[in-house]
Amino acid sequence: MKRIVTGVNDRGRSYAVSIDEVDTSRRAPLWDYDPGNPPEWLGAIDPAVALDWVGPQVAGGLQLVLGYFAPTKDIEYVERPGFDKDGFHTTKTIDVVCLVEGEVTLILDEERLRLLPGDCVVQQATRHAWLNDGDMPALAIGVLYRPQMGDAGTQTRADESTLT
């Protein structure tokens, strides 16, 4: 089981801050939320490209989601707000995603990482895309958290007009 934590480097590009093999023979914390860097990264996201309709709509909100990744060869491109043609998107959330079934590739600005069942990713408001180049769908369970920005000067509630 791998734990991958993503972040934003000093050039504003997404990358894997850490990739660790996790000892699954005992109980252990997988990750602790530190509100230090993410609010700065969140504040740097261009609102014109942010995928603000994904995740909880209230600052401090939490959402449990089921992620379904169809094989990429079976997907027809449909333009959606916040996604580019390659599926890249940036959310204003901290996401913890654990792959349950299948295989997917997490694509960051600086690298591509293959995930297998049991692998977990902590996305800290990073630009990314998902690719399933296999023949079978993949399933993941994720928890999405929208940090409270307080006085950081950024939007703390998604604009209702962007919701679908």
CA neighbor of 112 nearest in space, from 94, 86, 145: 86
Residue 163 three-state SS = coil
Tokens at residue 50, please? 């942010």
Gap between the Cα atoms of 63 and 86, Å rounded:
25
The predicted-structure confidence for 43-52, as pLDDT tens digits, reads as follows 777 767 777 7
Tokens at residue 18, please? 């850490």
Range in 35-39, 59-63, 93-97, 121-125 the model is least confident about:
35-39
Kindly report the pTM of this predicted structure.
Answer: 0.83
Residues in the chain: 164
CA distances to 81, 122, 126, 149 from 68, in Å? 19, 17, 20, 29
Among residues of the chain, what percentage have pLDDT more than 90?
Answer: 48
Between 102 and 48, whose confidence is greater?
102
Between 115 and 57, whose confidence is greater?
115
CA neighbor of 122 nearest in space, from 25, 3, 2, 36: 3
CA neighbor of 42 nearest in space, from 4, 90, 87, 80: 90
The predicted-structure confidence for 129-142, as pLDDT tens digits, reads as follows 999 999 999 999 99
Residue 154 three-state SS = coil
Rg (CA), the chain: 15
Residue extents of the structural domains in the chain: 2-22+38-149
Contact indicator for 115, 93 with CB cutoff of 8 Å = no
* Arithmetic mean of pLDDT, 12-22: 94
| Homologous superfamily assigned to 2-22+38-149 | Jelly Rolls (2.60.120.10)
